[in-house]
Structure 1
């Protein structure tokens, strides 16, 4: 006659889990796993994340700004925009030109050390 081996903590936990699953089956619990969502849900309340350019365009549209006026406005309010978009660059990057037709904004870092970080923020 061989003695039953002593059960360790892991073995006891496995037995308890097995017993709980069997009890759940007897009580009518479902054994199917819920379906995983694979699609994206589009929120209609305007809370989806946006890229910076899309957010600026939407703000301009909401406030009734047109492109030529927006160019001057962007250059005039550059510090405010930069502080909101990339606070670590505020005071270190200066806007120098805005092309209305292409929507291109040229800016220059005050110190060359900020160039890589400014390039990273460009898109």
Structure 2
């Protein structure tokens, strides 16, 4: 995830170094958490489960990339921008996945309409 973020942020101009190790470090600053975790009675109830295993069947997890640009970030035009996208996914007994949030609107205009802020 951090490799992809670092490359994308560099392409956008959000990260301005070309040093690979520093790019990863800066990407981790902008996205300080991991992209996913299991869901359960306690949202973060699985700290001992390795992140390097295949997803078992019959589990629910969230995919929630979030990027938060601090107000003191070197690239001024990106300061204060933040976003987080969250989807919940279930694995099936046969190894497939079901996007539980598939019906949730994603289009900005539809979201504004639902919020009552569309023009």
TM-score tier by shorter-chain length is under 0.3
What TM-score does the superposition give when structure 2 sets the normalisation length? 0.24
Bigger Cα Rg: 1
Larger RCO of the pair (alpha carbons < 8 Å, separation 6+): 2
More helix by share: 1
More strand by share: 2
What TM-score does the superposition give when structure 1 sets the normalisation length? 0.23
